[in-house]
A = this chain, B = another copy of it.
Amino acid sequence: MQMPYVTTRILRFGDCDISGTAYFPSYLNILNNVNEEFWEVLGWPWHDTIWKERWGTPTVHLSCDFSAPSFFGEELTFEVRVLRVGRSSVTLAHEISCNSKKRWSSTQVLAASDLDKHCSIPWPADVHAALTALLPAAGTAD
């Protein structure tokens, strides 16, 4: 996987509100969908880690700036970057654009979590290594 990880999503009818632009909670459903794809390409699809290994990556922090509206039917480009890797967390930066014009951005912290005990756990060693390999040269893994 190369950074940024790039993928696209069409803004569907069901994602839009009365104004004809994205309903912001639907934006976050799409973002979660993009994260799901990111983990699948990375090699740890959520349906495997959740079903077989009983851990997940719930969101513990989320920050978003919505700078310009997106309209029903537009194709949005999502760029995902790994900003920081902790012992049991990862910070992702998302840049969302349409035809190279910025629409919104997000910083999101995911934490490795035991699905049955609902508490954070350290990343498995191979996951930590894979995430760390995606850091920019100047980045630091704990």
**Interface residues of A, Cβ cutoff 8 Å to B:** 12-14, 16-21, 23-26, 28-29, 31-33, 36, 45-48, 50-51, 56, 58-67, 69, 71-73, 115, 118
A47-B72, A61-B66, A65-B61 given; A14·B23 CB < 8 A: yes
Alpha-carbon distance between A48 and B74 when the two chains are bound, in angstroms: 11
- A139 CA to B115 CA, complexed, in Å: 42
Contact between B19 and A118, CB atoms less than 8 A apart: yes
Please give, as numbers and ranges, the residues of chain B lying within 8 Å of A59 by CB-CB distance: 24, 66
Q: Which residues of B contact A67 (CB under 8 A)?
A: 60
For residue A16, which residues in chain B have a CB less than 8 angstroms away from its CB?
17-18
- CB contacts (< 8 Å) of A21 on chain B: these are 58, 118
Q: Which of B25, B46, B48 contacts A28 (CB 8 A)?
A: B25
Chain B, Cβ-Cβ closest to A72: B47
A93 shortest CB reach to chain B, Å: 14
Contact with A24, one of B32, B50, B66, B72 (Cβ below 8 angstroms):
B32
Which of the residues B25, B45, B66 comes within 8 Å of A73, measured between beta carbons?
B45
Contact of A63 among B23, B58, B62, B66 (CB under 8 A): B62
